[in-house]
Chains A and B, each alone.
Chain A
Amino acid sequence: MFITYLRRELAGRRRQTAIIAIGMALAIALVMIVSSVSSGVRDAQASVLDSVYGVGTDLTVSEEPAAPAEGEAAGPGRFEFGADAGTTEGDSTAISQSRLTAGFGASTFDASALETVQGIDGVSAASATLALTNTTFEGELPDFAQRVEGGPSDEVAEGGEAGGPPAGGFDGAGGSAFDVNSFSVLGLDPAAAAVGPLSSVELDEGRGLEASDAGQAVAVLDASYATSAELAVGDTIDVGGTEFEIVGTVTSTSADAATAADVYIPLDLAQQIAGLDGQVSDIYVQAESADRIDAVQADLEEALPDATVSTQADLAASVSGSLATASSLIANLGLWLSLAVLVAAFLIAILFTIQGVTRRTREFGTLKAIGWSNRRIVGQVTGESLVQGLIGGAAGLALGLAGIWVVNFIAPTLGGSAGDGAAPGVLAAGPQGGDGATAGGPFGGRLDTAAATEVVLNAPVTVSVIAIAIGLAVLGGLLAGAIGGWRAARLRPAEALRSVA
């Protein structure tokens, strides 16, 4: 009887059923889409963070950069060329010099901090890196030596030729041209790739850095940087004046994200070339378990009072760009909009159910008169509302999945930057891909040190998204049914019959 009555009621009141179902469907679909996109944005943030800090990194240790001491240069220092510098061909002299320096705004600290970190309870792995920037100054200028050899006094003595236009240079008429290129370099311990930036890369060509590479002039390049700089495995690259053999190229495991740096070299050589012996800029820490992260953070801060210790949560807050805009849009507008629509849908369902009960006063009065219990009538009303909610839920599920499909079909690209402020020491490790290498200007590489990366937003359909849809449908149905049923239960049969007499 319950099923028959329920079926007949829903079929007999199609318009009410349709309105409630449509309201519920819209609300549920919206909540599903917002929830899925929000989860996609979280994944995108994680992807940005992984590309910079590596997979499995729970904490990073760095130091706030201190203002340069008086007389100390803030930038990469001066490029100094002696009288014999460069190679001369004809009237022109070509000069080139590379300097490997700590990234602008980065601070280095003593590598002994790594041992301190490793000695802390709850730390399962830790590795240190040195984030550097290689700046190459190269150019072509006229061969001044020729003019010196002639000597100004001779020129004057020979009458009339002193002060004549110099020959050579890039335009053959005494002009000069200079290029300043930079790329990011990350010195890391080849034996400790399990945690740190290289844990989120996969090999593209050649091989990765191995434990035996310590002290060897070998480098691994970011694949996109290698492509833009026209370098391949087997070529060499000048890092701080030392030729490194390129043994491999790597790409990020997260889609569309660049890796943390352009060039990866063994830590000891990086320290030696940059003149930063025994110095590191970042320590990547993996905790034994997620619930120990806070305790490890506290211990690290105590053990290294000068250091900045950042967790993934801190780092997530540092993600900026359109990704951050999307995240805040979802968190604010999306959440409130879906809540408002959900409340509206629930209210519609409740009001229609109450209206239905009021319209059926005589029906319920009659049923009570012939002996139906309150429980049976409340059950009937609730059952009807629940099925209406479930119909709405099924329609909402389909609509929500379609909406999520549309989001994934459009696949909006979000830009994200990580590292600004929260982990200043990592700034120099930002991937620059092709852009950093071709920035050209002396500060191009250094200013572009935040980890800017583009991530395609993928809204996943998870079990929780489906569960939310079904849960809301059941909740909406039960809520409307409970309130409608309560109204029906309050009807006294005599009053119910009298009211229509």
Chain B
Amino acid sequence: MYRLEHVSKTYTQSKRQVAALKDVSLTIPSGQLVAIQGPTGGGKSTLLQMLGALDRPSTGSITLGESELSHLPDRKLGGIRAKEIGFVFQGFNLIPTLTAQENVETALEPLGVSGEERRRRALAALASVSLADRAGHVPGELSGGQQQRVAIARALVKEPEVLLADEPTGNLDEETRDEIMDLLEGLWRDRGLTLVIVTHDSAIAKRAERRLHIKNGTVTER
């Protein structure tokens, strides 16, 4: 479960202070599917980075389970990301020189999983996104939808508690978008994940249990 209390984030851009988040307080219970919408530059990605322990708030506190993320050192934040949080990005962010299976294995590397076990789990994760037969292909040999499936397999192979998806269908056509959303929704339901999706797409947002809107750094419930 996430608990955000009076979270603000300020950036300095060209000697100018920009408030990306302003006094955000909210709770996301475990297992909830939340969609975050809002205009570009409204603070969606910043909020996702705070939730993903990629950045610390300027003020306020963020708690994930028992961990207070806003004061943890980088090494411990890295540990939490490695174990508990899966990421899916709009641009897939696969390593172009590695095969699909090796890309999935990269998520198990920081957990110290041994080679054989890593390969077995990576193949199982690829099978769960229906890509077992593409395990030896590099990203350049896969379609956009297939690449996003590999990215989802990479996010889920470590069996995280939370899956954060930043515009996961932004680069995909409508048909593939629905496939990916079906997949994410299925996994969320089967595994009891907390799934937070940042999206511009209202069709996707409508499938969420809860919709948040963020504009000028302020979050409102829809």
Which residues of A are in contact with B by a Cβ distance under 8 Å? 1, 4-5, 8-9, 11-13, 362-363, 365-374, 376, 492-494, 497-498, 500-501
Contacts and interface: CB of A to CB of B under 8 A. Distances in A.
A274 B76 CA distance: 94
- Size band of the B side of the interface? 20 to 34
B95 A369 contact: no
B192 interface: no
Contact of B78 (A8, A9, A363, A372): A372
Given A8-B102, A494-B49, A369 B87 contact: yes
B52 interface: yes
A370 B86 CA distance: 7
A365 B55 CA distance: 12
A1 B109 contact: yes
14 contacts: A1-B105, A8-B98, A12-B96, A12-B97, A362-B91, A366-B87, A366-B89, A368-B78, A370-B106, A370-B155, A371-B81, A493-B54, A498-B45, A500-B91
A233 B83 CA distance: 94
Question: Residue among A13, A369, A371, A373 with the most chain B CB within 10 A?
Answer: A371
B82 to A, nearest CB: 2
Contacts of A370: 81-82, 86-87, 106-107, 110, 154-155
Interface of B: 45, 49, 52, 54-55, 74-75, 78-79, 81-83, 86-87, 89-91, 93, 95-98, 102, 105-107, 109-111, 115, 118, 154-155, 166
Given A9-B97, A12-B97, 5 more contacts: A365-B93, A366-B87, A368-B78, A371-B82, A372-B109
Contact of A371 (B78, B96, B97, B105): B78
Q: Is the interface of A mostly helix, strand, loop or mixed?
A: helix
Contacts of B107: 370-371
B97 A501 contact: no
A9 B111 CA distance: 22
A501 B170 CA distance: 11
B90 A501 contact: yes
Contacts, number: 83
B106 A1 contact: yes
Contacts of B74: 374
Contacts of A363: 93, 95-96
B53 to A, nearest CB: 9
Contacts of A366: 87, 89, 93, 95
A230 to B, nearest CB: 78
Contacts of A498: 45, 49
Contacts of A9: 97
A366 B96 CA distance: 12
A2 to B, nearest CB: 9
Contacts of A8: 97-98, 102
A371 B82 CA distance: 4
Contacts of B115: 1
A13 B81 CA distance: 29
A371 B79 contact: yes
A111 B73 CA distance: 84
Contacts of A367: 95, 106
A454 to B, nearest CB: 58
Contacts of B82: 370-372
A494 B118 CA distance: 27
B85 to A, nearest CB: 8
Nearest to B75: A373
Contacts of A368: 78
A369 B110 contact: no
A55 to B, nearest CB: 60
Contacts of A494: 49, 54-55
